[in-house]
Structure 1
Amino acid sequence: MAIRGWRPVAAAAVAAARPGGGGPGRGPGAGPAWGAAPEPVPEPAAPATAALYVHWPYCRKRCSYCNFNKYVVPAVDESAVGACLVQEARTLLRLSQVQSITSVFFGGGTPSLASPRTIAAVLEAVAGAAHLPASAEVTLEANPSSASPARLAGFRAAGINRLSIGVQSLDDAELRLLGREHTAAEARGAVEAARRLFPGRTSIDLLFGLPGQSQDAWAQGLAAALGLCDDHISLYQLTLERGTALAAQVWGGTLPAPPQDLLADMYQTACAMLVAAGFRHYEVSNFARKGALSTHNLSYWRAEQYIGVGPGAHGRFVPWGEGGRSREARVQTLEPDAWMQEVQSRGHGTRRRVVLSPLEQLEELLALGLRTDEGVTHERWGQFSPQLSLEAVFGEPGEAQDLQQQGWLLLDGGGLRCSVRGLALLDSLLPDLLCQLQRRWAPPAAPGWGAGAARRSPTGDRAGGEAAGVVSGGCGE
């Protein structure tokens, strides 16, 4: 799954795949120590690389928990959709002037419903517009119901070299609750077939925190998954989204809502089991062993450039081909038919674009980087903030120092990162850290700025193809 547990934020709690909930009860931090505004960041050189996300928006059915940008239609004009994906990829690569693509991720929707020839056509277009190394990670999301051995072999021949399979559960009753169209046996068969074709490069997704799910049932399901899986697992706490059938059932009292303490216990149990099985907990929701980390998802968490192609896809890149010199947040038109019309008329379907200020870029870097076990390194921070170091922002008295003293956060020669305990509570720690960053970055615009104030923050992403707008509140004094 394409980082479905990730929504970059600027001051609100990180949503999706939220393990454990509540944080260390924190009161107001020390008063602000205002400094001079940093000097303008010099114009960057044209970045040579980027990751590429391609969104296939169609599914055969909508699962009971899903509110992603996906569509269930009687028939898909695949040739028209594929042609538009090819055209938009070429256009955005030309506008970005990227020289080399580090990874490609086909997400959705259900991209395993697309034909291998469509996948191959997109990859050929990418390779024709920029360098696509033979070693580049090329991932396809697949549902077990559209992952027969013959179909998977076709995807491998088309250029796919990594699979992310939406298993979600190995219990048939849980799969029915989630509205999945596959059975546990079909999921097992799909993973086994994938491992034969993509050994060491097959990831599975699992959901926990389902209504009525016990900790014992979750632990047993995870143990079964460990006996089946390859070297990468993504675990996501079920998030009840407005407008979904499952949320309506829970909020209407038909199904029980899992207690927060139980969710925290489930997450901690899973972490312990996976680490004991040799997995590295390298991101809040992601675990890998034998070095099988997702290159593509790491590009998001490290705040590297990425280009989003397809309905609702998001991107972060500098449009050098249009004369731009600053990173932009771009969102493609959500609805497939409208998106196709825009691509056919002007080459791409970008519906919204926002130039990100240096502060907004640092906010994203902080919110995303702290999701990983490596955190935000000094080198990466310096690429975005050459004048204001990590120590200058977070090494002074304030929220970050308090969090370090409490054992939630670490700042040392490697950079800024969460402790093992702190990683599970990141959603509670981020607001304080972002407030400290905002204060250190520049003095207040006017007396009284702080409590009750509001400011714009960058638009968020999910899965490289889902909008999740975020508004940050002011920092209390």
Structure 2
Amino acid sequence: MAVRGLSAVRGLSAVRPRGMRPGRAAGMGSALQPPQPSEPPQPSEPGPEPAGPATAALYVHWPYCRQHCCYCGFNKYVVPAVDEAAVRACLVRETQTLLRLGHVRSVTSVFFGGGTPSLAAPHTVAAVLEAAAAVAHLSDGAEVTLEANPGSADPERLSGFRAAGVNRLSLGVQSLDDAELRLLGREHTAAEARAAVEAARRLFPGRTSLDLMFGLPGQSLEGWARGLEAALGLCDDHLSLYQLTLERGTALEAQVRRGNLPEPPEELLADMYLSARTALAAAGFHQYEVSNFCRKGARSTHNLSYWRAEQYVGVGPGAHGRFVPWGEGGRQREARVQTPHPDTWMREVRSRGHGTRRRAVLSALEQTQEVLALGLRTEEGVTQRRWGLFSPRRSLEAVFGAPGEARELQERGWLRLNGRALRCTPAGMALLDSLLPALLCQLRRRWDAAEEEEDGGGREPR
């Protein structure tokens, strides 16, 4: 488990919790087992969800883009024309159906991701927010984030989104270098990115976040440092730094695989990340998650809900969710995935109110694995309170305090366990993907051992 090397930085890849997959885009599928097609699951052993009024974050996926970026593996479509009225009606209906299905009484935050949601009309955003507020409480101060590309973030359009209820903007700048933007297949230029950031900061002061990528083929440490310095001179109070992931099936991955473009060396990727942490700290930014940095307390409430393993409802083509479907008699959290293709999704929403394609009940162990994998991404780690909600019979100390992998990682200075939480040290956070397999293995062993003891004590096997 050397500090250097690709394994030391893979946890930093373009990991964007977007309601789809909270750990690599927003989401992990299940950290460990993707949801499989199934009939409506039968209620099983109660999970950690309270029987009273439920809270949840809401993720809304807009699947359309103007062009394909050569690195992007998200669920997106480039079409000649979009019937936005039809899409809007289906987003509204699915939002209300799934919030009711989860007995959600309070929506804690909303995130419009994609795709390129800044291509949607502000009226569509307003309609979805109104639909959510008609079913559940959505406070005036709730965080409502919209992802925007600089090419569709002119001041007039951004003003429309603000009037619709958006109060936080996430700008996909990715780079402030024109050559790098061309390599990534982005439609905007560096000058357009700067103009979009300035417009966004005027309209959303203190609540404009920038996405930047590092680890591009051919990118040097010096080039990355210059780009980061330029971004620091331009940005607001939140930055997300994502190592480029070469997604199989994308044009950029094919170019690298064929040898047309160089794959960045492992040592260089680690140096880029570590040097960025140093530069951001010097600029007053605080790292609160593997890829996310803020100052003046400008954390993303919505993304924190993923990392804290809270409930979230995913709406729109290909969106992922995690919630208890009380309205269908469910008593345990499910992983749900909406139908990816927009036309098929709309047909399903019109016929039955939602386009859920796959669903799977998450066992208590699977939920606890997600709590561990997601929580360790954050500076606060896996708190004792949160762990207790999902694992009331097996404490953090019982699982990770005994001799084993976790203790060794603590001795090496990469992990800390105390009365408040299990968390990575700053050095351990950079190694997270190397540490997780060992910790998940220890969790599984301790879990199985505890179940064997309980079964041996007269408990009926499940």
Q: TM-score, normalised by structure 2?
A: 0.89
How far residue 248 of structure 1 moved from its aligned partner, in angstroms, is 1.0
Q: State the distance in 1 between where 2:47 and 2:397 align.
A: 18
Matches within 5 A, 1:4-23: 6=24, 7-8=27-28
Structure 1 residues 297 and 42, CA gap change in structure 2 (3 angstroms): closer
Aligned Cα root-mean-square deviation (Å): 1.8
Which residue pairs with 1:296 in the alignment? 302
Which residue pairs with 1:311 in the alignment? 317
- 1:95 matched to 2:101? The reply is yes
Q: State the distance in 2 between where 1:41 and 1:56 align.
A: 31
SS, match of residue 187 in structure 1: helix
Matched residue type, 2:28: P
Structure 1 residues 418 and 73, CA gap change in structure 2 (3 angstroms): same
From 152, 162, 180, the counterpart of 1:146: 152
How far residue 48 of structure 1 moved from its aligned partner, in angstroms, is 2.3
Matched residue type, 1:136: A
Q: State the distance in 1 between where 2:124 and 2:447 align.
A: 46
Structure 1 residues 387 and 41, CA gap change in structure 2 (3 angstroms): farther
Q: State the distance in 2 between where 1:41 and 1:437 align.
A: 18
Matches within 5 A, 1:111-150: 111-150=117-156
Map Cα deviations across residues 300-357 of structure 1 (whole Å, 9 max, x no partner). 0000000000000000000011111000000000000000000000000000110000
Q: State the distance in 2 between where 1:269 and 1:221 align.
A: 12
Structure 1 residues 40 and 351, CA gap change in structure 2 (3 angstroms): closer
Matched residue type, 1:8: M
How far residue 424 of structure 1 moved from its aligned partner, in angstroms, is 0.4
Matched residue type, 1:64: C
Q: State the distance in 2 between where 1:72 and 1:345 align.
A: 25
Q: State the distance in 1 between where 2:62 and 2:131 align.
A: 16
From 213, 222, 226, the counterpart of 1:207: 213
From 287, 291, 302, the counterpart of 2:293: 287
From 364, 368, 372, the counterpart of 2:378: 372
Matches within 5 A, 1:42-441: 44-441=50-447
Question: Is the Cα–Cα contact under 8 Å of residues 41 and 386 in structure 1 kept in the other structure?
Answer: no
How far residue 44 of structure 1 moved from its aligned partner, in angstroms, is 3.6
Matched residue type, 1:369: G
Matched residue type, 2:319: A
Which residue pairs with 2:6 in the alignment? none
Map Cα deviations across residues 220-242 of structure 1 (whole Å, 9 max, x no partner). 00000000000000000001111
Matched residue type, 2:298: A
Map Cα deviations across residues 155-205 of structure 1 (whole Å, 9 max, x no partner). 000000000000000000000000000000000000000000000000000
How far residue 42 of structure 1 moved from its aligned partner, in angstroms, is 7.3
How far residue 444 of structure 1 moved from its aligned partner, in angstroms, is 9.5
Question: Is the Cα–Cα contact under 8 Å of residues 371 and 423 in structure 1 kept in the other structure?
Answer: yes
Matched residue type, 1:349: G
- 1:3 matched to 2:17? The reply is yes
Question: Is the Cα–Cα contact under 8 Å of residues 11 and 431 in structure 1 kept in the other structure?
Answer: no
Q: State the distance in 2 between where 1:9 and 1:372 align.
A: 19
Q: State the distance in 2 between where 1:87 and 1:41 align.
A: 28
Q: State the distance in 2 between where 1:388 and 1:3 align.
A: 28
Q: State the distance in 2 between where 1:83 and 1:425 align.
A: 44
Matched residue type, 2:87: V
Structure 1 residues 195 and 436, CA gap change in structure 2 (3 angstroms): same
Structure 1 residues 272 and 52, CA gap change in structure 2 (3 angstroms): same
How far residue 387 of structure 1 moved from its aligned partner, in angstroms, is 1.3
Q: State the distance in 2 between where 1:40 and 1:127 align.
A: 29
Q: State the distance in 1 between where 2:274 and 2:122 align.
A: 39
Q: State the distance in 2 between where 1:8 and 1:116 align.
A: 29
Q: State the distance in 2 between where 1:63 and 1:42 align.
A: 40
Q: State the distance in 1 between where 2:365 and 2:104 align.
A: 24
Q: State the distance in 2 between where 1:250 and 1:95 align.
A: 45
Q: State the distance in 1 between where 2:368 and 2:128 align.
A: 32
Map Cα deviations across residues 351-392 of structure 1 (whole Å, 9 max, x no partner). 011000000000000000000000000000011111111011
SS, match of residue 210 in structure 2: strand
- Of 56-65 and 245-254, more deviation after overlay is shown by 245-254
How far residue 79 of structure 1 moved from its aligned partner, in angstroms, is 0.2
Q: State the distance in 2 between where 1:42 and 1:157 align.
A: 38
Question: Is the Cα–Cα contact under 8 Å of residues 29 and 335 in structure 2 kept in the other structure?
Answer: no
Question: Is the Cα–Cα contact under 8 Å of residues 176 and 193 in structure 2 kept in the other structure?
Answer: yes
Q: TM-score, normalised by structure 1?
A: 0.86
Q: State the distance in 2 between where 1:82 and 1:130 align.
A: 19
Matched residue type, 2:377: R
Structure 1 residues 12 and 318, CA gap change in structure 2 (3 angstroms): closer
Matched residue type, 1:123: L
SS, match of residue 207 in structure 1: strand
Matched residue type, 1:426: L
The structure in which a higher percent of residues are helix is 2
Q: State the distance in 2 between where 1:59 and 1:93 align.
A: 27
How far residue 43 of structure 1 moved from its aligned partner, in angstroms, is 7.1
SS, match of residue 351 in structure 1: strand
Q: State the distance in 2 between where 1:46 and 1:104 align.
A: 22
Q: State the distance in 1 between where 2:85 and 2:46 align.
A: 47
Map Cα deviations across residues 414-461 of structure 1 (whole Å, 9 max, x no partner). 210001000001001001101111111123999xxxxxxxxxxxxxxx
SS, match of residue 442 in structure 1: helix
Matched residue type, 1:297: N
Unaligned residue ranges in structure 2 (runs of 5+): 1-14, 34-44, 453-462
How far residue 67 of structure 1 moved from its aligned partner, in angstroms, is 1.4
SS, match of residue 99 in structure 1: strand
Unaligned residue ranges in structure 1 (runs of 5+): 14-38, 447-477
